[in-house]
Structure 1
Amino acid sequence: MSSPPAAPAPRWPLILLRTTATALALLAMVQVMLAGSFLNGTYDSLKDHEGNAMTLATVVVLQLAVAVAVRRPGRGPLWPLWTTALLTVAVIGQIAAGYARSLGVHVTLGVLLVSGILYGLVGAWRLPLPARSAQYEAGPEGSGRLPRPGGPVEVSK
């Protein structure tokens, strides 16, 4: 007796992973610009740097939940979960070092954090999306959908 065929992996966890990884990368770049602005003498940037850090922390925790969804129902790889868990710990340490005004730790961890976020971004976009279901590809009769580029084109006579 054979087991039933496995259902195809859902696409939505990987799409959410790409979305959160992109948002994290953008927030990290803004964070770097705000830190540079503060070091350049615009002291009001420090408050924006703090607010952006809190937003970044929120998104990294959201990405941790998404990484769990990539692994469990999505049947995806394990590395997004471990990478995001490490990023979460690093963000917490980064915020703590910032409030403690431990600039040596804060700047060094910031560089490592941005590198890790960019690593996760590249990895998320390199993961192949599972194929869509045949029902979605074909579409209902008369749906008006065009054929996919490179796919077979039927010509009526």
Structure 2
Amino acid sequence: MSSPPAAAAPRWPLILLRISTATLALLSLLQVMLAGSFLNGTYESLKDHEGTAMTIGTVVVLQLAVAALVWRPGRGPLWPLWTTAVLAVAVVGQIAAGYGRAIGVHVTLGVLIVSGVLFGLVGAWRLPLPARAALPESGADGNGRLPRPGGPVEVSR
């Protein structure tokens, strides 16, 4: 006797991962721009740099939860979880280095964090989305589209 077919993996954890990695990439770009603005002499941008750092820390913690959902209920790979965990530790160290005014560590770690964020972004978008389950009772195909008018008609007897 064969076992029943496994249910399709849910798509939503991977979609959330894609959203969180894209958000982190945009925030990282903003953070680099704010740092450059500060170094150019616009000292008011330092406060925005600090606020963006806190937002990045929050998004990284949320992404850690999302990466856990990709792995377990989503039946996805484990790498998003451990890379996000490393990124979370790096962001905490980055914030501490910034407050401690350890500029050499802060700039170097910032470059590594942006590289890690981009690695996660590319990796999340390279993971294929699981196929949608077909809904036979609705007449829709697996992509949520209804049959084309004038197409073949099935007649039940």
Q: Shared fold (TM-score greater than 0.5)?
A: yes
Question: Secondary structure of 1:33's match?
Answer: helix
What is the distance in 1 between the residues matched to 2:90 and 2:115?
A: 12
Tell me how large the CA RMSD over aligned residues is: 2.0
Paired residues of 1:14 and 1:129 also in contact (CA < 8 A): yes
What is the distance in 2 between the residues matched to 1:139 and 1:39?
A: 61
- 2:71 maps to what in 1? 71
* Letter in structure 1 aligned against 2:151: E
Paired residues of 1:139 and 1:145 also in contact (CA < 8 A): no
Superposed CA deviations along residues 117-153 of structure 1, whole A, max 9, x for unmatched, are 0000000000000001111xx68249x94569xxxx9
Superposed CA deviations along residues 41-61 of structure 1, whole A, max 9, x for unmatched, are 000000000000000000000
Equivalent residue pairs, number:
149
- 1:2 maps to what in 2? 2
**TM-score for the superposition, normalised by structure 1:** 0.89
Q: CA deviation at 1:6?
A: 1.1
Segments of 4+ moved more than 2 angstroms: 1-4, 138-142, 144-148, 153-156
Runs of 5+ consecutive residues of structure 1 not aligned to the other structure: none
Question: Secondary structure of 1:3's match?
Answer: coil
What is the distance in 1 between the residues matched to 2:84 and 2:5?
A: 31
Paired residues of 1:9 and 1:74 also in contact (CA < 8 A): yes
Q: How does 1:118-137 map to 2 (within 5 A)?
A: 118-135=118-135
Runs of 5+ consecutive residues of structure 2 not aligned to the other structure: none
What is the distance in 1 between the residues matched to 2:63 and 2:49?
A: 21
**TM-score for the superposition, normalised by structure 2:** 0.89
- 1:26 maps to what in 2? 26
Paired residues of 2:139 and 2:147 also in contact (CA < 8 A): no
Paired residues of 2:139 and 2:146 also in contact (CA < 8 A): no
